[in-house]
Structure 1
Amino acid sequence: MAQPLQPLLVGYYGEHNLGDDALLEVLLSQLPPGCRPTVTAHDQELVAQRFGLACVDRRQLGAVLAALGRSDALVLGGGSLLQDATSFASLLYYAALILAARIQAKPVLLWAQGLGPLRRRRSRLLVRGLLALVTACSWRDQASAQLASSLGWQEVQENVAPDPVWSLAAPSWRGPGGPILLCFRPTSQLQGAAWKPWLGALEQLAPDRELIWLPFHAHQDRGLLDSLRQQGLLSPALLSRSREQLVERPAEAMELCAGAGLVLAMRLHGLILAANCGAPTAALSYDPKVNAAAADLGCLCTPLDAPAPDDLTAQWQRCLDQPPSLPSLERLRASAALHRALLARLA
């Protein structure tokens, strides 16, 4: 009897980030039957308990390389792993894994990857060489595919699909009148008083509705509401309507989204999970990946690197209780299935 395939799944897992947890859920659901994956994770106990999987500490390269030696394939699963915005050392980490896999004659799959940014010339040269070693890949947006093409990757257009989280099963929107859900995050584009026009617009929006602050990344986003309060940036009226709600699983986040009258999302996967429920959504973009997802969906997207529009409250008001286009959602869900086809190469 053939032994079950044992791929090593590498990503930003077990970091208490709902978006990456959602990516892992989808990735596991798309693996060929019978696979016995090992997952790189920071909080190994959390991932092992939730999914019943073998885990290895993603922050210990030696341990990950040892796990790769026991595996049959390397899968870089979702997110933007090949980039140097975090650091050049981060890029070297993934380069070491790809090189080690190819030296061992093991396939390397880039699943639903975003590519870049690659700010350094040496980063672009390194990624050009790495792409030549990759067995197969799928990209989550056109910008990543175009960058890959400029670095020598072929057959780009056949391998582009929306973020795989669009294919995650979701509850249905429960209709108008719900609270306003905020998937906000700290960002260098909003420091101190720079928050004021955005919070002022929020204060004027549906003043009879509760504001629920939903941290998507427990370590980065949790406490943002309290931080803004301590800085004196929240009016008494806004503060009286606001509360933070913590959840641990993407399914719990989607239940909140399904009951919202509007989800204002800075987080990419906050936008996707909300829209996937059919909830009214509007994006605030700190990153091109948020712009791309909002454009695919056809929802309002306001850039944070420009002054808040004078009519921002009115723009949000027009989104309130107005769900996204069902044909757009169906198109995105169907297109995201392309990523599953990539994993069939493991069978």
Structure 2
Amino acid sequence: MDKLKAIVSGYYGKGNAGDEALLLSLLQMLPPSITPIVLSANPTATRDSYGVETVPRRSLFPLLKSFRESDMFIWGGGSLIQDVTSFASPFYYLSLMGYAQKLGLATFAWAQGIGPIKAKLTQRLTASVLQRCKGLSVRDCASAKLLEAWGISCILAPDPVWTLSAQPVKQVWEIRAPRVAVNLRPSAQLTPERLEHLTRALIDFQKATNVSLLFLPFQSDQDLPLAQRVATQLPGAYQILSLQDPRALKGVFRGVEMLIGMRYHSLVMAASEGCRCFAISYDPKVKQLQQELNLPGWDLTELPDDPNLISTVWLKEYTNGDALELTQIQSLIDRAWLHQQIFSIQQGACL
């Protein structure tokens, strides 16, 4: 039987380590009978990094050609369908999926985090498109409940990045121990005042513990300037590691004691490697993950005004906090592979 071609659409080629990790996780779950064609903002980099065929995600004629030549369309994970951070983004992804369905391609929504969706029009369009999918999996309970309210069945499993293999990073072990990782990202809720409180708290925390602080930008164009701004005010040892390979980023957490993290996948990677986590939530998906894993943390909007209180709480977690149990980590990894099941019907769906 000839191989099936599948267009894979997501937030790829944008330099976001979380989305690149999702792409890697998807590629390892695809059956050998499926050849992926990845829509990317940087097709050359995606092709060179992962050895896959790529198409520019916003070039009309190459896109149309890839649709005509394909059998399947896959939404490749993450919070693609939400209108909190971008009103236009869900329409881009919905349009691609709708066009694929119009052409008769078998469509799959893989490892999605759906919502929040505030606009009624977006809700109706999303429900209509998802109802016509051949297979659908989501990564959190809130998404599953939303689909249930729409009368749509799905597979619920942890984020696929739990399954991603980590690569050791030699330079981490060259940094003086003990080490604590920090991941910050810009957000409308991260006001200058709150950033100042976090910076002051990191200074106090480092003085109290004598740790080396390891800053991990997950999207360099956004996170790196913020890391540099905070790190240069520290009294002690620090390093900023800008790593492109998500497997290496995940490997960093094998050499640190704790993560203070904002980005969703920084927390997933750290927790999966047995690292203690403290979440700073800027988005409902982070809050959802925090609740499901019972991680300590704050919403940015509830961040204490007192840097001393913040550092004291961090110190308590650093001294007495616990990482996830190994049995819990293995259970999350095993269940994350359930996302692969939506492809078990792919041959019949595409005949």
More helix by share: 2
Counting aligned pairs with the same residue, the percent is 31
Question: 2:217–2:227: 8 Å Cα contact kept in structure 1?
Answer: no
1:200 matched residue in structure 2: 200
Give distance in 2, aligned partners of 1:284 and 1:10. Answer: 29
Question: 1:184–1:265: 8 Å Cα contact kept in structure 2?
Answer: yes
2:71 matched residue in structure 1: 72
Q: Does 1:166 align with 2:162?
A: yes
**Partner residue of 2:222 out of 214, 220, 223:** 220
1:314 matched residue in structure 2: 312
1:274 matched residue in structure 2: 270
Give distance in 2, aligned partners of 1:118 and 1:154. Answer: 16
TM-score by length of 1: 0.90
Q: CA RMSD in A?
A: 2.3
Give the match's secondary structure for 1:97: helix
Give distance in 2, aligned partners of 1:339 and 1:74. Answer: 16
Give the superposition deviation at 1:292.
1.8
Give distance in 2, aligned partners of 1:298 and 1:87. Answer: 28
1:337 matched residue in structure 2: 337
Give distance in 2, aligned partners of 1:302 and 1:112. Answer: 26
Q: How does 1:11-50 map to 2 (within 5 A)?
A: 11-50=10-49
Give distance in 2, aligned partners of 1:73 and 1:124. Answer: 24
Q: Does 1:154 align with 2:152?
A: yes
Residue deviations 1:54-101, cap 9 Å, x none? 101113355323312211100001011122234443222222222222
Q: How does 1:1-347 map to 2 (within 5 A)?
A: 2-150=1-149, 152-156=150-154, 159-170=155-166, 177-207=177-207, 208-228=210-230, 235=233, 238=234, 240-308=236-304, 311-320=309-318, 322-347=322-347
Give the match's secondary structure for 1:320: helix
Give the match's secondary structure for 1:205: helix
Letter in 1 for 2:228: D
TM-score by length of 2: 0.89
Give distance in 2, aligned partners of 1:87 and 1:320. Answer: 36
Letter in 2 for 1:26: S
Give distance in 2, aligned partners of 1:206 and 1:192. Answer: 21
Give the match's secondary structure for 1:272: helix
Give the match's secondary structure for 2:302: coil
Over 3 Å counting, the alpha-carbon distance change for 1:60 and 1:329 in structure 2 is same
Give the match's secondary structure for 2:14: coil
Give the match's secondary structure for 1:324: coil
Give distance in 2, aligned partners of 1:194 and 1:280. Answer: 23
Q: Point out 4+ residue stretches in structure 1 off by more than 4 angstroms.
A: 171-177
Give the superposition deviation at 1:314.
2.9
Residue deviations 1:193-231, cap 9 Å, x none? 2222222222222431111111001221121133447xx
Q: Which consecutive unaligned segments of at least 5 residues does structure 1 have?
A: none
Over 3 Å counting, the alpha-carbon distance change for 1:103 and 1:112 in structure 2 is same
Give distance in 2, aligned partners of 1:147 and 1:239. Answer: 47
Give the superposition deviation at 1:299.
2.0
Over 3 Å counting, the alpha-carbon distance change for 1:163 and 1:134 in structure 2 is same
Give the match's secondary structure for 1:187: coil
Question: 1:281–1:324: 8 Å Cα contact kept in structure 2?
Answer: no
Question: 2:135–2:343: 8 Å Cα contact kept in structure 1?
Answer: no
Give distance in 2, aligned partners of 1:228 and 1:62. Answer: 44
Letter in 1 for 2:153: E
Q: Name the count of aligned residue pairs.
A: 337
Give the superposition deviation at 1:154.
2.5
Give the superposition deviation at 1:172.
8.8
Letter in 2 for 1:320: Y
